[in-house]
Amino acid sequence: MKEYELTVLIHPDLEADLETPLNKVRDIIKAAGGTIAREDNWGKKKLAYPINREDFAVYVYMDLELPAEAPLKISNTFNITDEVLRYLLVKADVKARKALAEQAAASTETKEEE
């Protein structure tokens, strides 16, 4: 299983009951054989340009672990899902993530020494 990062832009009208579209996204990921390692709701933000005549969207970021065939299944399903305005599914850069963790640990150590 490989690590992926998924950012989903959910229709702003669904902000009041956000759990329903999020459960749908989670079910799509689980149906493709993936697991969600971390989920972060970034909230409602203004889009750089209108998408389907919408100026705002609810951004949700997820760290995933997916089998090899899952990204294609997830992409095909998101393309026909009305709740999802846009999505970005990319492989996680493990080296960059490890470097950030080491940098954070080093900065924590220097703060403790002061």
pLDDT at 71 over 80: yes
Q: Determine the pLDDT at residue 59.
A: 95
Taking only the tens place, the pLDDT of each residue in 2-22 is 899 999 999 999 888 899 999
**Confidence tier at 27 by pLDDT (50, 70, 90):** very high
Which residues is 35 bridged to in the sheet?
65
Kindly give the interhelix angle for 19-31 and 70-79, rounded to the nearest 10 degrees. Answer: 140
For the segment 33-60, what is each residue's pLDDT rounded down to a tens digit?
999 999 999 999 999 999 999 999 999 9
Does an H or E element contain 105, and which?
helix 94-113
Query: How far, in Å, CA of 69 to CA of 63, rounded?
Result: 17
Reported confidence tier of residue 93, pLDDT bands at 50, 70, 90: confident
| Domains located in the chain, CATH noted | 2-113 (3.30.70.60)
Per residue in 72-84, pLDDT (tens digit) is 999 999 999 889 9
Q: Average the pLDDT over 55-75 and give the result.
A: 93
User: What value does the mean pLDDT take over residues 59-63?
Assistant: 94
